[in-house]
Amino acid sequence: MKKRGKTFFPAKSGVSVTLKKNSRKSLKSVKNIARSCRIPHKGLAQKRASQLLRSLKPVASRRGRRVRKTEV
């Protein structure tokens, strides 16, 4: 997103938005924000957002392999 009045000041024209919603609503927000962009860019923005959301998820701990008991 860009600020309307700052077109000649590239450093000041950008706007950052923090999405504090759940993952589904965040993806919907990204889709709405990217509505003004070209269609391929919209898909790429959603893809990148879903990658970010997936990376923020905690990794499920994998159980180790069970060791066979040796016969005595």
67 phi and psi angles, rounded to 5 deg: -95, 135
Establish if 36 belongs to a structural domain: yes
**Percentage, residues of the chain above pLDDT 70:** 97
Establish if 37 belongs to a structural domain: yes
Establish if 6 belongs to a structural domain: no
Q: What is the pLDDT of residue 27?
A: 94
pTM attached to this predicted model: 0.64
Domain that residue 33 falls in: 23-55
Establish if 67 belongs to a structural domain: no
Average pLDDT of the residues in 8-29: 90
Average pLDDT of the residues in 8-26: 89
Establish if 39 belongs to a structural domain: yes
Question: What does the alpha-carbon distance between residue 63 and residue 55 come to, in Å, rounded to a whole number?
Answer: 21
Establish if 9 belongs to a structural domain: no
pLDDT tens string 34-57? 888 888 899 999 999 999 999 988
Helix (H, G, I), strand (E, B) or coil at 23: helix
Tokens of 2: 């860009």
Establish if 66 belongs to a structural domain: no
Domain count, the chain: 1
Establish if 16 belongs to a structural domain: no
Question: What does the alpha-carbon distance between residue 53 and residue 70 come to, in Å, rounded to a whole number?
Answer: 45
